[in-house]
Amino acid sequence: MSGREIRVCLGPCSSACACAIVAAMSLQERFDDAMYDFSTGDYDRAIEKLRSVLADEPLHFDAQLGLGMAYYRKGDYQTAIAEGLKALNLRPQEQLVHTNLSLFYMKAGDKATAEHHGLQARIASWKSDKSKPGEKAGGDPDLELAKPPAPAVPPPTQFPDMPWKKK
pLDDT tens-place string over residues 95-131 = 999 999 999 999 999 999 999 999 999 998 888 766 6
Q: What's the topology of domain 28-127?
A: 1.25.40
pLDDT for 3 equals: 46
Write out residues in the chain with pLDDT < 50, as ranges: 1-5, 10, 14-23
Can you spell out the DSSP letters for 13-46? --TT--EEEEP---HHHHHHHHHHHHHTT-HHHH
Q: Do residues 117 and 101 touch, judged by C-beta distance below 8 A?
A: yes
Please write down the HEC assignment for all residues of 125-143. HHHHCCCCCCCCCCCCHHH
Q: Of 127, 72, 131, whose CA–CA distance to 103 is shortest?
A: 72
